[in-house]
């Protein structure tokens, strides 16, 4: 009876002992540890945890095995609080022992000089954790979570307890820990000594907060540059996005579909495509400079490169995001309120200014703040068209990959960027938390939206229509750049750039992928395909925990889950480099660290998709399943997941698309073996080979368009829990006849 009741416990106990006995304990360089299972008794490099403790001088690993033995004793006990105490003691002891030894003992012995001084040199070394260590640590953590549930927490539900502990551990390890470690690097000097004043010297330097451009000098500090650019971009994207939203919803229905296409462009294109298109227009060899030289004899120059070019590129890239935000807000304005104002003899102009516009204020604040965050986090456009204009994201990049390799400066810049982003994120959450969209209620609104007043319509048309046309021109130029020989010199149509990147040849042994881009293309597809389902699964699980369960620390749990949205991608990439290049989690240079970066960078997508879907599902569905004696796993599998299919598919495809087009977070993590599409393109741009870069962008745009079409085909326009009026009437009549 105890075995049936404690089946899950015994499975994890068995997994822990199996990991200690049959899996390589430490990571094996240039090999998959799972392929070395038959060699765990052969040598020190491939040895299992038991062999490491018995034969290779690592006695601290006995503590994890002891924790498993204590947990096994607990699994043999009847379910109850006493069993919970034993499980918690065994699992907690094992987790604490393995993590402590992992952080204290590294590849050179003791990880801290004070331990070496007080305890002497350590004979054994410890590389990064491998499959054995990972599985054993996971098993111990799950057993500790089961112990917490047996003690009466999480209503005694083993699945909920393990889900909360597991997700919280992932968030702590792959978001909170690396970010804190990266930020902590600002407090250490170049020789490794701790100094509180170091961060103040680095942050307050002239290079960061200098005001030379105001006092007669040439440049201002990069912090002021970033702040100025963020405010400019946020203002321009909010204005343009609002005008486009008004055009789509209140002006002419003919413009709705073209606007939808414009709104999807930044999602399905790499972040620097706009910058490349603008270079073909306004660069030194661009069409505009060539025309000015031909017509007026003006010598071509690099006038476009700088803050103005970055601002224009970011406005192009992020206006569609503001449009999508504002379109939903405009749709939510109740027509009955506008009709009431006109009934009281207000003119259309007065109605728009006193009723419609004030109701858009929450959306305007949201669009402004999102645009500000996106601008600060942007890396692609400043690196392509920034010229000598530096911002925080590019400065962090050069502090890490440049000749200086200054971790302290990179960390101090990350502090500034993170504080900017978190401050804006907090303002956004605070403002939107206090807003109440009372225009949308349970009652129907049969009113007809008021057409735009003539003056407003003329303003909207005069700004939004030219901007839409200009946007399409920029993307067309970016598309055309891959089909001409040399932009600005030789406009002969050619496919040479596509052949360079994606040529196929027949060799002695069959077809050869001869193009220079195939390696990065297949690597990107493979890693994005691995990361997308993991992102969707963990994101929806976290959304379920937040929507359907209550536990202590839930607010901190939710904040950690959404922290990746507020942390700029550049900061997250630097954090991964600094946190995972030493034991116990030595991941730098592997494909796994890129997959994890994809996953946790895009995790808020899955959380938000799940949260929005759960708002449509009544809790009574879960409660009815529980009343029929289904447990949490059965309810989640048979009731919740079928209803979450649209959210699941949306999270899958969006995570896949974002993983392929991201650049700022992974620019530090790629290697020659694991090169990605975006870093390949950045390299080509750096060499001035715009043709191949734009040809690759064209291929990615086609790929992302197919993925987007697939999601729209699969998900469609389904709405949960809705019934048409005619169908409802028929059902009522049928019930009445019965």
**Residue 633 to residues 161, 173, 622, 629, 719: CA-CA distances in angstroms?**
12, 25, 11, 12, 25
Cα gap 434→419, rounded to integer Å: 22
pLDDT attached to residue 108? 85
pLDDT band at 31 (very low <50, low <70, confident <90, very high): low
Q: For 142-172, what is each residue's pLDDT tens digit? A: 999 999 999 999 888 898 999 999 999 999 9
Task: Classify residue 171: in a domain, yes or no.
Answer: no
Average confidence (pLDDT) over 226-247: 91
pLDDT attached to residue 431? 65
Cβ-based neighbour number of residue 673 at 10 Å = 11
Residue 620 pLDDT greater than 80, yes or no:
no
Q: Which helix (H) or strand (E) holds 116?
A: helix 113-119
Measuring CA to CA, which residue among 108, 88, 87, 117 is closest to residue 583?
108
Average confidence (pLDDT) over 60-88: 94
Cα gap 147→144, rounded to integer Å: 5
pLDDT attached to residue 646? 67
Q: What single DSSP character describes residue 483?
A: G
Give the pTM.
0.82
- Is the separation of the CB atoms in 140 and 528 below 8 Å? no
Give yes or no: residues 471 and 549 share one domain: no
State both tokens at 240: 């343009």
Cα gap 376→379, rounded to integer Å: 8
Give yes or no: residues 482 and 538 share one domain: no
Measuring CA to CA, which residue among 153, 133, 151 is closest to residue 141?
133
pLDDT attached to residue 312? 92
pLDDT attached to residue 712? 59
Give yes or no: residues 142 and 252 share one domain: no
Give the three-state DSSP class for 119: helix
User: Among 438-442, 547-551, 560-564, 673-677, which stretch is predicted with the lowest mean pLDDT?
Assistant: 438-442
Q: What is the 3-state secondary structure (H, E, C) of 586-640?
A: CCCCCHHHHHHHHHHHCHHHHHHHHHHHHCCCCHHHHHHHHHCCCCHHHHHHHHH
pLDDT band at 682 (very low <50, low <70, confident <90, very high): confident
Measuring CA to CA, which residue among 604, 586, 591 is closest to residue 529?
591
Q: How far apart are the first and last CA of the chain?
A: 49
Cα gap 234→38, rounded to integer Å: 58
**Residue 28 to residues 36, 127, 526: CA-CA distances in angstroms?**
9, 9, 22
pLDDT attached to residue 616? 57
% of residues, the chain, pLDDT over 70 = 88
Give yes or no: residues 239 and 312 share one domain: yes
Q: What single DSSP character describes residue 278?
A: H
Identify the domain boundary among 151, 168, 187.
151
pLDDT attached to residue 631? 72
**Residue 341 to residues 347, 355, 444, 453: CA-CA distances in angstroms?**
8, 8, 19, 14
Give yes or no: residues 547 and 480 share one domain: no
Mean pLDDT of the chain: 82
Residues paired with residue 506 on neighbouring β-strands, in sequence order: 511
Q: What single DSSP character describes residue 105?
A: E
Question: Any idea what the Cα angle at residue 98 is, between residues 92 and 101, rounded to 5°?
Answer: 130
State both tokens at 559: 């904040």
Residues paired with residue 110 on neighbouring β-strands, in sequence order: 105
pLDDT attached to residue 715? 53
Give yes or no: residues 480 and 534 share one domain: no
Residues paired with residue 220 on neighbouring β-strands, in sequence order: 211
% of residues, the chain, pLDDT over 90 = 26
- Is the separation of the CB atoms in 480 and 375 below 8 Å? no
pLDDT attached to residue 173? 94
To which residue do tokens 């890396």 refer? 379
Give yes or no: residues 259 and 117 share one domain: no
Q: For 358-406, what is each residue's pLDDT tens digit? A: 888 777 877 888 788 888 888 888 988 888 888 998 888 888 876 667 8
Residue 729 pLDDT greater than 70, yes or no:
no
Q: For 634-662, what is each residue's pLDDT tens digit? A: 777 777 777 777 667 767 777 888 888 88
Cα gap 582→563, rounded to integer Å: 24
Give yes or no: residues 51 and 95 share one domain: yes
**Residue 147 to residues 68, 75, 704: CA-CA distances in angstroms?**
13, 10, 46
Residue 531 pLDDT greater than 90, yes or no:
yes
The secondary structure of 125-144 as a DSSP string is ----B-HHHHHHHHHHHHHH
Q: How many residues does the chain have?
A: 738
Domains of the chain: total = 3
Task: Classify residue 461: in a domain, yes or no.
Answer: yes
Task: Classify residue 55: in a domain, yes or no.
Answer: yes
Which of the pair, 626 or 158, is modelled with greater confidence? 158
State both tokens at 404: 């200086």
Q: For 269-323, what is each residue's pLDDT tens digit? A: 777 788 888 888 888 888 888 888 888 888 888 888 999 999 999 998 888 878 8
Give yes or no: residues 281 and 364 share one domain: yes
Identify the domain boundary among 132, 151, 170.
151
**Residue 447 to residues 151, 334, 337, 542: CA-CA distances in angstroms?**
56, 8, 9, 39
User: Among 81-95, 618-632, 670-684, which stretch is predicted with the lowest mean pLDDT?
Assistant: 618-632
Give yes or no: residues 71 and 137 share one domain: yes
pLDDT attached to residue 286? 85
Domain that holds residue 589: 519-686+702-715
Q: What single DSSP character describes residue 694?
A: H
Task: Classify residue 616: in a domain, yes or no.
Answer: yes
Residue 1 pLDDT greater than 60, yes or no:
no
Residue 68 pLDDT greater than 90, yes or no:
yes
Residue 724 pLDDT greater than 60, yes or no:
no
pLDDT attached to residue 721? 40
Q: Which helix (H) or strand (E) holds 432?
A: helix 407-434
pLDDT band at 132 (very low <50, low <70, confident <90, very high): very high
pLDDT attached to residue 727? 43
Angle between the N-to-C axes of helices 690-715 and 645-661, in degrees from 0 to 180, rounded to the nearest 10:
180
Give the three-state DSSP class for 505: strand
Identify the domain boundary among 151, 179, 201.
151
Task: Classify residue 97: in a domain, yes or no.
Answer: yes
Q: What single DSSP character describes residue 621?
A: H
Cα gap 166→149, rounded to integer Å: 13
Per-residue b/e over 588-614, b at no fewer than 16 CB within 10 Å? bbbbebbbbbbbbbbbbbbbbbbbebb
Average confidence (pLDDT) over 129-154: 94
Task: Classify residue 696: in a domain, yes or no.
Answer: no
Give yes or no: residues 478 and 572 share one domain: no
Task: Read off the CATH number of the domain in which 295 is found.
Answer: 1.10.3720.10
Give yes or no: residues 113 and 12 share one domain: yes
pLDDT attached to residue 731? 41
Task: Classify residue 181: in a domain, yes or no.
Answer: no
Task: Classify residue 691: in a domain, yes or no.
Answer: no
CA torsion through residues 729, 730, 732, 733, sign: positive
């Amino acid at each position: 009876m105890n075995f049936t009741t404690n089946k899950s416990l015994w499975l994890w106990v068995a997994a822990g002992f199996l990991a200690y006995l049959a899996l390589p304990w430490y990571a094996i360089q240039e090999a998959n540890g799972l392929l070395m299972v038959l060699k765990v008794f052969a040598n020190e490099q491939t040895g299992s945890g038991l062999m490491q403790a018995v034969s290779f001088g690592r006695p601290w690993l006995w503590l994890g095995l002891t924790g498993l033995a204590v947990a096994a004793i607990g699994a043999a006990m009847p379910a109850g609080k006493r069993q919970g105490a034993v499980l918690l003691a065994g699992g907690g002891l094992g987790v604490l022992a393995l993590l402590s030894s992992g952080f204290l003992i590294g590849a050179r012995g003791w990880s801290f000089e004070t331990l070496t001084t007080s305890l002497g040199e350590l004979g054994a070394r410890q590389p990064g954790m491998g499959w054995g260590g990972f599985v054993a640590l996971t098993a111990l953590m799950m057993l500790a979570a089961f112990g917490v549930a047996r003690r009466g927490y999480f209503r005694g539900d083993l699945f909920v307890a393990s889900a909360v502990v597991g997700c919280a551990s992932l968030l702590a390890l792959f978001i909170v820990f690396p970010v804190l470690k990266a930020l902590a690097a600002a407090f250490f000097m170049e020789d490794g000594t701790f100094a509180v004043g170091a961060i103040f010297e680095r942050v307050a330097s002239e290079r960061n907060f200098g005001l030379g451009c105001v006092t007669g000098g040439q440049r201002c500090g990069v912090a002021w540059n970033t702040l100025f650019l963020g405010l400019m971009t946020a203002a321009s994207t909010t204005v343009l996005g609002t005008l486009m939203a008004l055009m789509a919803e209140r002006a002419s229905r003919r413009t709705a579909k073209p606007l939808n296409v414009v709104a999807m462009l930044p999602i399905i294109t790499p972040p620097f495509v706009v910058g490349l298109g603008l270079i073909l227009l306004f660069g030194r060899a661009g069409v505009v400079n060539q025309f000015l030289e031909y017509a007026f004899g003006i010598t071509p120059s690099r006038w476009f490169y700088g803050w103005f070019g970055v601002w224009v590129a970011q406005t192009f890239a992020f206006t569609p995001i503001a449009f999508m935000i504002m379109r939903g807000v405009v749709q939510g304005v109740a027509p009955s309120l506008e009709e009431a104002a006109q009934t009281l003899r207000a003119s259309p102009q007065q109605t728009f200014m006193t009723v419609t516009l004030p109701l858009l204020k929450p959306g305007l604040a949201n669009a402004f703040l999102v645009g500000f965050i996106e601008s600060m986090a942007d890396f692609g456009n400043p690196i392509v068209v920034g010229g000598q204009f530096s911002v925080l994201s590019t400065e962090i990049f050069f502090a890490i990959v440049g000749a200086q390799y200054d971790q302290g400066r990179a960390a101090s810049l990350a502090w500034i960027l993170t504080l900017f982003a978190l401050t804006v994120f907090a303002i956004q959450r605070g403002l939107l938390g206090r807003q109440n969209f009372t225009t949308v209620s349970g009652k129907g609104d049969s009113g007809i939206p008021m057409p735009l007043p003539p003056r407003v319509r003329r303003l909207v048309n005069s700004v939004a229509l030219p901007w839409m046309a200009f946007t399409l021109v920029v993307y067309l130029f970016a598309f055309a750049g891959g089909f001409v020989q040399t932009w600005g010199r030789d406009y002969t149509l050619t496919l040479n750039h596509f052949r360079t990147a994606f040529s196929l040849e027949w060799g002695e042994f069959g077809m050869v992928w001869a193009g220079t881009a195939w390696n990065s293309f297949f690597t990107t597809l493979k890693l994005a395909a691995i990361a997308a389902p993991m992102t969707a699964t963990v994101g929806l699980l976290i959304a379920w925990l937040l929507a359907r369960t209550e536990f202590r620390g839930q607010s901190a749990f939710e904040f950690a889950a959404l922290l990746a949205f507020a942390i700029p991608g550049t900061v997250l990439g630097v954090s991964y480099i600094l946190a995972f290049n030493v034991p116990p989690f030595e991941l730098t240079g592997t494909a796994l660290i890129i997959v994890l970066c994809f996953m946790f960078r895009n995790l808020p997508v899955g959380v938000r998709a799940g949260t929005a879907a759960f708002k449509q599902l009544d809790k009574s569905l879960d409660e009815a399943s529980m009343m029929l004696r289904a447990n949490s796993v059965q309810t989640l599998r048979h009731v919740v997941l079928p209803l979450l299919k649209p959210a699941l598919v949306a999270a899958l495809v969006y995570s896949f698309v974002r993983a392929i087009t991201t650049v700022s977070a992974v620019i530090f993590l790629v290697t020659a073996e694991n090169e990605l599409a975006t870093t390949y393109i950045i390299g080509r741009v750096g060499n001035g080979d715009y043709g191949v870069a734009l040809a690759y962008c064209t291929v990615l745009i086609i790929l992302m368009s197919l993925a987007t079409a697939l999601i729209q085909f699969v998900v469609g326009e389904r709405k949960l829990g809705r019934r048409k009026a005619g169908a409802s009437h028929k059902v009522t009549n049928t019930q009445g006849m019965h």
